[in-house]
């Protein structure tokens, strides 16, 4: 029988260490929603989402009450819209109509984000892919809950540099259209290399074409729990450090597995995966930066940071993998800047630079995330940063992502305010030496030699 100490341990994690289930994300296939024109497609998309997800939010709340664990977000991911709209959308404006439909459906069912306004162009762009990409600035500035992503490279296909060049311009345009709110539109857009089909976290969630009609994916979190566990082993060897992280990650992930199974059975929808990520929030005590400090660094960004993050990421996976029957998504430590108070502090203290963050992305679960840069940064420079990050993903056979916010009207040293979960971010310094001739070459970077495994 469960002992009082075990009960106290679990409840202290929830009460004092911000343990929560970060998101229950319902993946919905929209492949069957293509109509004879844009209007009919929008209607079918709306009906499918509203029908499939009508009980999602209420079920999340019930489960939360049953186990006494907060479930912070209920979200939806859908089939990449470039595929859904390919036969009916003849202009970018047509795609924006679908974006508005997604926004309306998300509001109707009460979720706080819907992801999948996406295109998969790792090797080449169809006409529809390009129309969707060109519609992103308008779509993100005229909706509230829609998130967008573009996969523009993979280990198997290499990098689509035409898309990378275009995306630099698209990010700038999105920033311009939302400049009244510190270019917040860019917070809802991610560029990927090796994007997973089952990621439950925003802004990059979409429901891949390899997925079933409808699935439940769950994203767990808990940086505060890991931090608290590490406080108890301060000064101990790496062996004890690693064992502690692993044990804690196991416990956190078990809660995610329980919630995922329960949500799946109540909603009558198959369980997809648990994404075992350490996802920080701006709240004090819910920070990956704090864990890195607890491991022994004065600030995230100090020498040793990449090694510390590498071990953290690996131990989180090792502990989590055994706790869940299916692990997927991004799984690992996230290192966003604006959503993590200690990362913000590290940037403000000039301990953490964009270049060090890039190095850290070689060993963390995603990439350059929620980084505010000067609004004057050129589109080519943004494309250059994307290309570097995509190259890391391609060569290392891992997912990498870029979510950069060129904040129009602000420069290095200023501060961007996004509000809510997105927090605020200091504007980081960018290396502005030109990469324009490189970006303007056009075409593709071939897949690396180690991708030829057949």
Residues lying near other proteins in the complex (CB under 8 A) are found at 1-11, 62, 65-69, 251, 254-255, 257-258
Least spacing, CB of residue 124 vs other proteins, in Å: 45
Least spacing, CB of residue 84 vs other proteins, in Å: 37
Least spacing, CB of residue 214 vs other proteins, in Å: 24
- Looking at the Cβ atoms of 17 and 167, the one nearer to other proteins is 17
Angle between helices 305-321 and 238-267 (to 10 degrees): 50
Least spacing, CB of residue 281 vs other proteins, in Å: 21
Say how many residues make up the chain. 454
Least spacing, CB of residue 14 vs other proteins, in Å: 9
- Looking at the Cβ atoms of 67 and 412, the one nearer to other proteins is 67
Least spacing, CB of residue 103 vs other proteins, in Å: 31
- Beta-strand pair 71-78/114-120: parallel
- Looking at the Cβ atoms of 9 and 411, the one nearer to other proteins is 9
- Looking at the Cβ atoms of 134 and 266, the one nearer to other proteins is 266
Q: What is the distance between the alpha carbons of residues 330 and 17, in angstroms, rounded to a whole number?
A: 23
Least spacing, CB of residue 446 vs other proteins, in Å: 46
- Looking at the Cβ atoms of 1 and 449, the one nearer to other proteins is 1
- Looking at the Cβ atoms of 8 and 284, the one nearer to other proteins is 8
Q: What is the distance between the alpha carbons of residues 91 and 88, in angstroms, rounded to a whole number?
A: 9
Q: What is the distance between the alpha carbons of residues 390 and 164, in angstroms, rounded to a whole number?
A: 9
> How far are the Cα atoms of 196, 218, 243, 284 from residue 13, in angstroms, in the given order?
30, 19, 18, 14
Burial of 67 per CB tally in 10 Å (0-12, 13-18, 19+)? middle
Query: If you write DSSP's letter for every residue of 42-65 in order, what string do you get?
Result: HHHHHHHHHHHTTTHHHHHHHHHH
CA 103 to chain centre: 19
> Is 174 within 8 Å of 186 (Cβ atoms)?
yes
Buried/exposed code over 253-282 (b: 16+ C-beta within 10 A; e: otherwise): bbbbbbbbbbbbebbebebbbbbbbbbbbb
């Amino acid at each position: 029988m469960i002992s009082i100490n075990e009960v106290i341990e679990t409840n202290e994690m929830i009460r004092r260490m911000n343990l929560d289930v970060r998101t229950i994300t319902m993946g919905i296939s929209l492949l069957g929603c293509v109509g004879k024109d844009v209007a009919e497609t929008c209607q079918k998309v709306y009906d499918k989402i509203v029908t499939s997800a009508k009980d999602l939010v209420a079920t999340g709340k019930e489960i939360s009450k049953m186990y006494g664990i907060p479930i912070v977000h209920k979200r939806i991911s859908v089939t990449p819209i470039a595929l859904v709209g390919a036969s009916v959308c003849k202009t970018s404006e047509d795609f924006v109509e679908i974006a508005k439909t997604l926004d309306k459906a998300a509001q109707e069912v009460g979720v706080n984000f819907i992801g999948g306004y996406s295109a998969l162009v790792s090797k080449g762009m169809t006409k529809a892919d390009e129309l969707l990409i060109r519609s992103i600035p308008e779509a993100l500035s005229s909706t509230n809950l829609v998130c967008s992503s573009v996969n523009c490279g993979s280990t198997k296909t290499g990098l689509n540099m035409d898309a990378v060049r275009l995306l630099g311009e698209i990010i700038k345009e999105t920033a311009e259209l939302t400049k009244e709110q510190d270019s917040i539109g860019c917070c809802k857009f991610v560029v990927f290399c090796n994007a997973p089909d089952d990621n439950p976290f925003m802004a990059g969630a979409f429901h891949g074409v390899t997925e079933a009609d409808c699935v439940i994916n769950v994203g767990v979190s808990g940086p505060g729990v890991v931090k608290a566990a590490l406080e108890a082993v301060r000064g101990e060897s790496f062996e004890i450090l690693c064992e502690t992280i692993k044990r804690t990650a196991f416990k956190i992930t078990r809660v995610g597995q329980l919630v995922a199974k329960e949500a799946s059975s109540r909603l009558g929808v198959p369980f997809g995966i648990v994404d075992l990520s350490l996802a920080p929030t701006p709240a004090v005590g819910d920070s990956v930066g704090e864990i890195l400090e607890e491991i022994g660094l004065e600030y995230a960004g100090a020498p040793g940071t990449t090694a510390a993050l590498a071990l953290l990421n690996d131990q989180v996976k090792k502990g989590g993998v055994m706790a869940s029957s299916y692990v997927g998504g991004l799984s690992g430590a996230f290192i966003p800047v604006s959503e993590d108070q200690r990362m913000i502090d590290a940037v403000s203290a000039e301990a953490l630079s964009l270049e060090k963050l890039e190095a850290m992305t070689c060993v963390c679960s995603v990439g350059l995330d929620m980084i505010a840069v000067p609004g004057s940064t050129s589109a080519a420079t943004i494309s250059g940063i994307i290309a570097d990050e995509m190259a890391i993903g391609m060569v290392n056979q891992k997912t990498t992502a870029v979510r950069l916010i060129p904040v129009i009207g602000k420069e290095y040293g200023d501060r961007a305010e996004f509000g809510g979960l997105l927090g605020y971010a200091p504007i980081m310094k960018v290396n502005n030496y030109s990469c324009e001739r490189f970006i303007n070459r056009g075409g593709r970077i071939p897949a690396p030699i180690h991708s030829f495994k057949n």
